[in-house]
Structure 1
Amino acid sequence: MTMPYHEGELAVQARAGVQGMAARVGRSIAPHLTPPLAALLARQDLLVLAAPDLQGRPWATVLSGPPGFVQPLDPQTLVLHARLRHDDPVGKHLLIGVPIGVLAIDLSTRQRVRVNGTVATTGDGLVLRVEQAYGNCPKYIQKRVGETTGSGGASPFHVTSGELLPDALALIREADTFFMATVHPAGGTDASHRGGRPGFVRALDSRHLEFPDYAGNAMFNTLGNIEATGRAGLLFLDFTRDRALHLTGTARVVWDEDRLSAHPGAERLVEVTVDHVVTRDSATGRVWTLREASPYNPA
């Protein structure tokens, strides 16, 4: 891999004036699982999965299991010993050769690893052929601990719509965390995390959201994909009710200074227009207790 960035990432890096930093940080992107990354993945019990549907729309979902359900077989192969339920908006699109992104995140320690690749095989589990792997810093991760609910994976609540219903709007307006799926035709699929103080995501109406982009690692994997394709998928977790809110739509990066002033600490904004929404219960099999907000959250 001679160039870790595609044209969308390079364009955002140039607009932000961080090309030098991005080039240095980009050296951490490995084309395989390094031993430290593999060891960290093997300890995880929660991960976010991103994949495009048959129309190319990105979706994000969550998988969970006991430590060891994420199994690095070798530097190029990652096995996920879990199956997505029939009501998951990602499950039926995980076909062989589909580009997917994985974010393994430990909310209790603020550790996270990103792995991008393609689906190699499906069946009782999911096998990922690794193409990129790298760690991320702990910025903006709220520390949480989970407790098993014993729900058995049942999903009594399942709603699809073309806009955000009142319960979904309330969840978004109170959220301090969400996850993103973005895609690029050559660069693959990426899963990422976003965090801030409750209310950092603004639901402008039933189909429009905006949220700040704070200082990060200067790679701009997520924003670079948006710059190139104009699409994004978001996943909000209701940590107290174990409910997942999935949405996908169009997106764009906003640099307007007047709009930035309404979001303390923002260096850019992302504006999302929602096209499709899925809400599900029993997303992780656990309820989560907030222990500590991230010290990096802007005041």
Structure 2
Amino acid sequence: MSNVPSSPGWGLDQSPFHEGELAVQERVGVREKMAAVSRHVVRHYLTEQHREFFGLLPYIFVGSVDAQGRPWASILLGNAGFMHASDSTTITIEAQPLHGDPLVENLRMGAEIAMLGVQLHTRRRNRFFGTVTSLKDGEVTIGVRQTLGICPQYIQGREPVFHRDPSVSTVSPVHRNQRIDKAVRAIIEGADTYFVASANLRESDGVARGADVSHRGGRPGFVRIDDDMTLTAPDFVGNFLFNTLGNWQLDNRAGLLFIDFEGGDLVYISARAEIIWDGPEVKAFNGAQRLVRYHIEEIIRVEASLPARFSAPEYSPFLARTGSWGDAEKTLEAERFRNEWRPLRISRIEEESSTIRSFYLELADGRGLAGYEPGQFLPIRVQPDAWAEPVNRTYTLSSAPGGASYRITVKREGTGGVSDWLHDHVTVGTVIEGMAPRGSFVFNADARAPVVLISAGVGITPMIAMIDSLLVNNGRTLHHAPIWFVHGARNSASHAFSAFLNDKLGRHGNLHAHVRYSRPLPDDRIGLTHDSEGIVDIDLLKAILPFDNYQFFLCGPAAFMQSLYDGLIDLGVRDTSIHLESFGPASVKRRIERAAADEAEESIVVTFAKSGKTARWRPEHGSILDLAERAGIPALSSCRVGSCGTCSVKVLNGSVDYAQPPGHEIPPGEALICCAAPHPGVHLADSLDREGVSLDL
């Protein structure tokens, strides 16, 4: 008779997470979500399905803790059926640890133990941890305290073939070291998988205490050897429980297991884990949410220890969205050339609608692609045969960062300009020039904040990049609050990325969308091709959005942007909650909120001599061009990133600063106001204001 509880799920008053796990969940913005999810995915017993599953396995991965409190990752092997769950909280294992494995010493009465069952070739998996309750005659019995699933995304498919009886103990050469030698280096450098053990042994944490063991996978070589005592590995999107990283908040000791699946060597490593939460390398490694640096304290390599050989790997399809250290190095190197024009070859062209095409661009100089944030754009330079001078344009990148190419999506404007030339004359193999991506319109909302992405026409492009980067791996989301996407198009013929959007809607429960057509075709149908008819306006937003404290991201034509901005402000939405990107020379006139305390803040005076106006600049105002537009002062501009020179203005007095050197040459005595800020001078008499700059504008 089974003693499985009648109600599935956790079912206990105490949280399954300890304070270290909760701290990481809070940092990433998923604490509330995981509190709800854990009631369904974390259990204090084995289900019937999992009891049967463990009985089918010929191997299991183990996390244990030695007498010094150090966790170790191991593997136990046996003939199918060597594990047996007699009830929902008890598992008996008939197997001996392999020779040289630290598990030989760590299996003792009362020991904390974790076990990870993975059927590599099917990617079925489950994990449990508990305490050793019995040791006798080659049998280990474990009292199960907690069970949960693991992330299957990066598991490489492999099947074992035993070449000797796993139940018969054999002695193999054991090598102990504190540094990586040639043999260990070869195994790690070729690894696409490793297993990592951690532990929290605080008695006060009750059912949340214990050992843990997890799987990590990536492209071959995804674990970098920094030196002979240090490893660094990316940490990809997982199940957001953060058991391993949470344990390291309380005790950063780690145990690693590397397996030579072909030769049979096993490498056990004891190390200290350092989590690198952010930085250039994290951004440069495609798919990495953070990095983990392992500082090695002991290495054990056992020759030909494994009684089985595994088949060649069937790589996880999710590896396509992960990078390599070689690619990351090229991306970091590319930052040195971000203000140089570099050759870009068109590698693919796709029709997105009757008037919109996507162009895939690969570097033609053999160097790496510079990284970017979703929402940023790519400056390009082209010179059609009939044109006397090259022309600069900027086009928003319409895919998530990290691929082997850039993708820009361009609407044919019908004016004979660059967009028409791209549509009419560019073919696969055409080479144009481009600089590194840039722009301030990026997705920067907290993962817990509900967001609304609103676009019209080809203004959909930054929204597609944002959605593509936030919603990944067939159901995983990096933004855990609701995401609303509202888009306006003329009809289905002009509606770009509809298939992409429908696919995301089918996979991600936190994505909601509303598409409105202004001029539907006869075959367009509400509920099939679109959701309503008319234009996207403030009345539509009021009708479809449930009440919440949203962050709004808007992109589209100038009138569209201004209308929505004004409508949102009139509804009481704060200016700081509205993020804008308009294409073309026009910009939205914003209403900057002012409080009494804010008026007392230090500012820098900018004088526009021709217009006879002055304005007070603060960092939140952006560039001098942004300040001028808010003051109603007309100013020429195009790229808005300092790559074309259109906005160059004569400096009459004072000077300006640039956050980074502009790509375009700055004429003597002038400033590129689209990317400049006034340099603070001396304080004006009896004022917090500083002298700034006077411009011939």
| Shared fold (TM-score, shorter chain, > 0.5) | yes
1:90-239 equivalences under 5 Å are: 90-123=103-136, 124-150=138-164, 153-186=169-202, 187-239=209-261
Query: Mean Cα displacement is larger for which, 148-157 or 101-110?
Result: 148-157
Q: How much does 1:147 deviate?
A: 1.3
Secondary structure at 1:250's aligned position in 2? strand
- 2:509 alignment partner in structure 1: none
More strand by share: 1
12-21 or 231-240: bigger deviation: 12-21
Q: Write the distance in 1 (CA, Å) between the matches of 2:68 and 2:239.
A: 31
**1:140: Cα distance to partner?**
0.3
8 Å contact from structure 2 (residues 99, 171) kept in 1: no
Structure 1 contact 8–227 (Cα < 8 Å) conserved? yes
Per the alignment, residue 69 of structure 1 pairs with 82
What is the one-letter code of the residue matched to 1:253? I
Q: What is the CA–CA distance in structure 1 between the aligned matches of 2:288 and 2:173, rounded to whole Å?
A: 35
Higher mean alpha-carbon deviation, 271-280 vs 154-163, is at 154-163
Report if the CA contact (8 A) 1:96-1:119 is conserved.
Answer: yes
Q: CA deviation at 1:148?
A: 1.4
Change (3 A) 1:105 1:266: same
Does residue 57 of structure 2 align to residue 57 of structure 1? no
**Which of 270, 275, 280 is the aligned partner of 1:258?**
280
Q: Given that residues 111 and 136 in structure 1 are in contact (C-alpha distance below 8 angstroms), is that contact kept between their aligned partners in structure 2?
A: no
How do 1:16-95 residues align onto structure 2 when only pairs under 5 Å count? 16-27=28-39, 28-95=41-108
Give the counterpart of 1:272 among 289, 294, 297.
294
Deviation at 1:291, TM superposition (A): 4.0
142-151 or 166-175, larger mean C-alpha shift: 142-151
The alpha carbon displacement at 1:117 in A equals 0.2
Q: How much has 1:259 moved relative to structure 2? A: 2.3
Secondary structure at 2:46 match in 1: coil
In the TM superposition, residue 134 of structure 1 has moved relative to its aligned partner by 1.9
Greater mean alpha carbon deviation, residues 165-174 or residues 189-198 = 165-174
Structure 1: distance between partners of 2:129 and 2:183: 33
Deviation of the 1:281 alpha carbon: 2.8
Aligned to 1:247: 269
Deviations 1:168-223 (A, max 9, x none): 11211110000011000231000110001011111111110111111111000011
Of the three residues 278, 288, 292, the one matched with 2:310 is 288
Correspondence for 2:539: none
Q: Greater CA deviation, 146-155 or 204-213?
A: 146-155
Q: Distance in 2 between matches of 1:25 and 1:166?
A: 44
Q: Distance in 2 between matches of 1:198 and 1:18?
A: 30
Higher relative contact order (CA 8 A, sep 6+): 1
More off after superposition, 83-92 vs 190-199: 83-92
Q: What SS class does the counterpart of residue 114 from structure 2 fall into?
A: strand
Give the letter aligned to residue 106 of structure 2: H
Summarize deviations over 1:116-152 as a string: whole Å, max 9, x none.
0011111211111100012234210000111112275
Displacement, 1:282?
3.8
Q: For the residues of structure 2 that align with 1:115 and 1:42, how far apart are their CA atoms?
A: 14
Count of residue correspondences: 299
8 Å contact kept, 1:153–1:282 = no
Query: Quick check: 1:252–1:272 contact (8 Å CA) kept in 2?
Result: yes
Root-mean-square deviation (CA), in Å? Answer: 1.4
Q: Distance in 2 between matches of 1:154 and 1:281?
A: 11
2:15 equivalent in structure 1:
3
AA matched with 2:134: T
1: CA distance between counterparts of 2:268 and 2:141?
A: 23
Higher Cα Rg, which structure? 2
Q: Secondary structure at the match of 1:290?
A: coil
Contact 2:150–2:214 under 8 Å retained in 1: no
Q: Give the alignment's TM-score, normalised by structure 2.
A: 0.42
CA distance in 2, matches of 1:150, 1:142: 24
Whole-angstrom distance in 2 between the partners of 1:22 and 1:221 = 12
> Contact 1:227–1:253 (CA<8 Å) still a contact in 2?
no
Q: How far apart in 2 are the matches of 1:32 and 1:139? A: 24
In structure 2, C-alpha distance between the alignment counterparts of 1:39 and 1:147, rounded to whole Å: 22
Quote the Cα distance in structure 1 between the aligned partners of 2:313 and 2:233. 24
Identity %: 36
Kindly state the Cα deviation for residue 4 of structure 1 after the two structures are TM-superposed: 0.9
Question: Separation in 2 of the partners of 1:283 and 1:29?
Answer: 34
The normalised TM-score by structure 1 is 0.96
Q: Distance between the aligned counterparts of 2:223 and 2:95, measured in 1?
A: 30
Offset at 1:30? 0.7
Q: Residue 98 of structure 2 contacts residue 305 of structure 2 at CA under 8 Å; is this kept in 1?
A: no
Kept after mapping to 2: 8 A contact 1:154/1:282: no
Q: Is the Cα–Cα contact under 8 Å of residues 142 and 290 in structure 1 kept in the other structure?
A: no
Q: Could you tell me whether the CA contact under 8 Å between 1:21 and 1:218 is conserved in 2?
A: no
Distance in 1 of aligned mates of 2:222 and 2:28: 21
Residue 153 of structure 1: how far off its partner (Å)? 4.4
Contact between 2:21 and 2:247, CA under 8 Å: does it hold in 1? Answer: yes
Report the CA distance between 1:155 and its aligned residue: 3.5
- Residue type matched to 1:59 in 2? W
User: Distance in 2 between the 1:163 and 1:55 partners?
Assistant: 20
Separation in 2, partners of 1:175, 1:24: 35
